[in-house]
Amino acid sequence: MKSIYLDYAATTPLDPEVFEVMKIYFLDKFGNASSIHRYGQIAKAALEESRLSIAKLIGAKPGEFYFVSGGTEANNFAIKGAALNAFRLGKNHIVTSEIEHHAVLDCCAYLESNGFEVTYLKVDSSGVVNPESVEKAIKKNTCLISIMLVNNEIGTINPIKDIGEIAKRHKIIFHTDAVQAFGKIPINVEELNVDLLSISAHKIYGPKGIGAIYIRNGVELEKIVHGGGQEKGRRAGTENVPSAVGFAKAAEKAIQNMKFENQRLLNLKLNFKQKICNLFPFVLFNGIESKSVPHILNISFDSSKIKIDGEALLLNLDLNGIAVSAGSACTSGSIKPSHVILSIGRDLDTAKSTIRFSFGKFTEAEDLDYVLMVMKEVVERIGIVL
Ligand SMILES: Cc1ncc(COP(=O)(O)O)c(C=O)c1O
């Protein structure tokens, strides 16, 4: 049976070249980067070199760049850290959007249960946050704005530069979750006007369990992980040197290949989309092509035209060797539709029939033709055309 992985937005395989540069830091150069002796100094040098190299790729100074355990921790640090710091100054209002990743939404919910007020902005039907709505939501006690750069489900790109200008004008800390954007679109923290930015290595063929946060000089955050004095005292825990080295290698390669790979994936996606249109007239495309990253394609089946269960479709594709993601989560036996798909205005049944395809460096045109062939058979078998 063929094996086709189309879930690169969930995670990517580790690049063997990345694995190669990491190996020596597990084996020979295994020192603790905080140790004073030679072993420690060798590890420390590799850590700092990696920091410098990734920081440069986003236009940050190395002193503004901190390693953490991944995108989730970076978001927790940014949101809880900024909020808890502002609380002391009497500010307790946060502005975010309905389509954020759960690593942002759940932090906001936690803060709400601890005395904060959160405004969840609606998005338009293409899944984009309107900067005007951000400005309108600002209050005297607003301490933080957090809006994602690229949405992980539908791939839309938000106007972060414009939102950043608004935040700057109102002197409010601005965070963006750039986990799905880093290595896919150019990022420069100065141009984007952001104060805090989250990234993660495993979305770009780097190791799992490492990410980073950019913290603009002068921005105060309450500590979230307490313990040792690592990362200039802002994030405790023995530094993950092998992963930091791997992250730097993966980041460097992603940026180098970005232009070529984006064009290749865009061609694949447009071709795939056209064939979906021809085969399945009842499919709706979520997001908007002109404001999207090329590696994500999200579709739903129009519930007024066809009855089909997204989860069953996904399982049938898996049985045929195709790995995609459902736009819904299965919790205690019931399918929970995606908050993103509902937010762009799809009805409940349409939202439950959502599939996310995400492409990567091993995706080829023949793979997508095979997917279409299998999907046609499965949709005809399990779908009920109304
Ligand atoms: C937009 C977004 N934010 C945050 C995360 C969490 O990152 P990590 O898996 O590194 O914790 C993800 C991962 O899927 C994501 O897509």
| 115-125 tens-digit pLDDT | 999 999 999 99
Query: What whole-number distance in Å separates Cα of residue 386 and Cα of residue 137?
Result: 42
Å from CA of 378 to ligand 1 middle: 30
pLDDT band at 335 (very low <50, low <70, confident <90, very high): low
Q: Are residues 189 and 275 in the same domain?
A: no
Mutation choice for ligand 1 from 72, 146, 147, 149, CB with most ligand atoms inside 8 A: 72
State mean pLDDT over 303-321. 95
Region 27-32: mean pLDDT is: 98
Rounded to the nearest angstrom, the distance between the alpha carbon of 204 and the centre of ligand 1 is 12
Sequence-ordered alpha helix ranges (H) in the chain:
16-26, 38-57, 71-87, 102-112, 131-137, 160-169, 189-192, 241-279, 310-319, 339-343, 348-352, 365-382
- Encode pLDDT of 282-305 as tens digits: 999 999 999 999 999 999 999 999
Residue 327 pLDDT greater than 80, yes or no: no
Residues 76 and 183 in one domain: yes
Q: Report the nearest atom of ligand 1 relative to the CA of 103.
A: 4
* Per-residue pLDDT band at 329 (split at 50, 70, 90): low
Given this model, what pLDDT does residue 326 score? 87
Of 222, 253, 284, the last residue of a domain is 253
Cα of 41 vs centre of ligand 1, distance in Å, is: 31
Pocket mutation for ligand 1, best pick of 8, 180, 185 (most atoms within 8 Å of C-beta): 180
The residues annotated as belonging to the active site are: 330
What pLDDT was estimated at residue 234? Answer: 97
Number of helices and strands (H, E) in the chain?
Answer: 12, 17
**Domain end (from 219, 253, 287):** 253
Q: Which atom of ligand 1 is nearest to the CA of 75?
A: 4
**73 CA closest ligand 1 atom index:** 11
Residues 239 and 265 placed together within one structural domain of the fold = no
* 76-96 tens-digit pLDDT: 999 999 999 999 889 999 999
Amino acid in the structure at residue 240? N
Structure tokens belonging to residue 357: 């395809």
Same domain? For 244 and 284 the reply is no
Query: Residue 104's domain is classified under what CATH number?
Result: 3.40.640.10
Nearest CA to ligand 1 atom 7: 71
Does residue 367 share a domain with residue 337?
A: yes
Ligand 1 centroid – CA 106 distance (Å)? 13
C-alpha torsion angle, residues 18, 14, 209, 322 (rounded to 10) = 170
367 and 287: one domain?
Answer: yes
Do 208 and 268 belong together in one domain? no
In angstroms, the CA 381 to CA 363 distance is: 26
Q: Which atom of ligand 1 is nearest to the CA of 100?
A: 1
**pLDDT 10s digits, 337-370:** 999 999 999 999 999 999 999 999 999 999 999 9
Of all protein residues, the one whose alpha carbon is nearest to atom 5 of ligand 1 is 71
* In a shared domain, residues 317 and 249: no
Same domain, 237 and 357: no
Residues with CB under 6 A from ligand 1: 70-72, 75, 101, 103, 148, 152, 177, 179-180, 200, 202, 211
Identify the residue whose C-alpha is closest to ligand 1 atom 9. Answer: 71
Atom of ligand 1 lying closest to residue 150 CA: 1
Total tally of structural domains belonging to the chain: 2
Which amino acid residue places its CA nearest to atom 8 of ligand 1?
71
> Measured between alpha carbons, how far is residue 286 from residues 104, 276, 340, 363 in Å?
21, 13, 10, 21
CATH number at residue 312: 3.90.1150.10
Mutate to test the pocket of ligand 1, among 179, 182, 205 (most ligand atoms within 8 A of CB): 179
Same domain flag for 247 and 268: no
Tell me: do 213 and 305 sit in the same domain.
Answer: no
* 214-238 residue pLDDT tens: 999 999 999 999 999 999 999 999 9
Flag whether the pTM goes above 0.85. yes
Looking at 218, 253, 288, the residue that finishes a domain is 253
Distance CA 148, CA 96 (A): 9
CA distance 23 to 193: 37
Q: How far is the CA of 197 from the centre of ligand 1 (A)?
A: 12
368: containing domain:
4-11+257-385
Span from the CA of 179 to the centroid of ligand 1 (angstroms): 6
Q: Are residues 287 and 142 in the same domain?
A: no
Q: Mean per-residue pLDDT for 3-25?
A: 98
Q: Among 251, 233, 231, 232, which residue's Cα sits nearest to residue 241?
A: 231
